[in-house]
Amino acid sequence: MSTTASQPVKTVAEFPAAAAEFKDAIRKIVRSHAVNELYGAQVFDEPAISFAPTPYAKWLTCRVAMEEYGHHVRFRELGEQIGIPAAELVPGEKKPLSIFAFPLATWEEFCVIKLLADLAEILQVEDLLQCTFHPLRNLARMTMPEERFHAQFGRDFCVELCRTPEGRAKVQDAINRYFPLLPAFFGASGSRNNATFRRLGIKQRRNEEMRADYLERARVLVEDELKLTLPEIAGTA
Ligand SMILES: [Fe+2]
Ligand SMILES: [Fe+2]
């Protein structure tokens, strides 16, 4: 019996009987989340603890780092339950995503990463909220409030930094250097993987639709709320 969008897989126990195509697709998504959550925590959230300027900021940054490691742990546990080899659930030989190819050096950069990269993550997690594999849907539901907190953390600290001319200039500079990495995070337009995910009811939206939605939400945050400028990105319209 094959699995279609109208036949949800409700438990991990039902997973082995699902269609091979469905199992491959789910494993691909769980693997990428497990790897990326750990990679992000290692290169951004944990190092940021030392940049946090006050005890309160440090405490909140520790909480963000703890939650990002926690996301990795949750996705890794699900990955192990659905038969993904342990070595594939941690960063390995595969080149990390371009959003991680940014050497974090300042507190302002970290605040901008939380503002903009965690917003991108929110869109990805939102797309899994109706997923036909219920264990993954449930995991997305648990993760969502924490990702919202991370994006809010970025927004609140960016607002605070923008109260001084130097802080404002540093936030703008970090946006100019980091934002261009983000549109690619949504994957290629016309992606075949994405078409499969949608056909199987695992994902809801096309990569290009998510990217356009993201660019608009980022524009509202940066231009309308922070009164800063979002750099023009070629080829993302
Ligand atoms: Fe996360
Ligand atoms: Fe996050």
For ligand 1, the distance from its centroid to the CA atom of residue 91, given in whole angstroms, is 15
Instruction: Please report which ligand is nearest the Cα atom of 125.
Output: 1
Listed residue (135, 131, 120) closest to 183, CA to CA: 120
Q: What is the pLDDT of residue 3?
A: 46
For ligand 2, the distance from its centroid to the CA atom of residue 93, given in whole angstroms, is 23
For ligand 1, the distance from its centroid to the CA atom of residue 71, given in whole angstroms, is 5
Q: What is the pLDDT of residue 84?
A: 97
Instruction: Please report which ligand is nearest the Cα atom of 119.
Output: 2
Listed residue (196, 207, 192) closest to 20, CA to CA: 196
For ligand 1, the distance from its centroid to the CA atom of residue 60, given in whole angstroms, is 15
Q: What is the pLDDT of residue 235?
A: 58
Q: What is the pLDDT of residue 236?
A: 53
Contact of 190 with 208, CB cutoff 8 Å: yes
Instruction: Please report which ligand is nearest the Cα atom of 69.
Output: 1
Query: Can you list the residues of the chain whose pLDDT is less than 70?
Result: 1-6, 234-237
Condensed to tens digits (0 to 9), the pLDDT of residues 194-232 reads 999 999 999 999 999 999 999 999 999 999 999 999 998
For ligand 1, the distance from its centroid to the CA atom of residue 144, given in whole angstroms, is 9
Global confidence as pTM:
0.95
For ligand 2, the distance from its centroid to the CA atom of residue 117, given in whole angstroms, is 8
Total Cβ atoms within 10 A of residue 237: 8
For ligand 2, the distance from its centroid to the CA atom of residue 155, given in whole angstroms, is 13
Instruction: Please report which ligand is nearest the Cα atom of 118.
Output: 2
Listed residue (229, 18, 221) closest to 123, CA to CA: 221
For ligand 1, the distance from its centroid to the CA atom of residue 197, given in whole angstroms, is 21
Beta strands in the chain (DSSP E): none
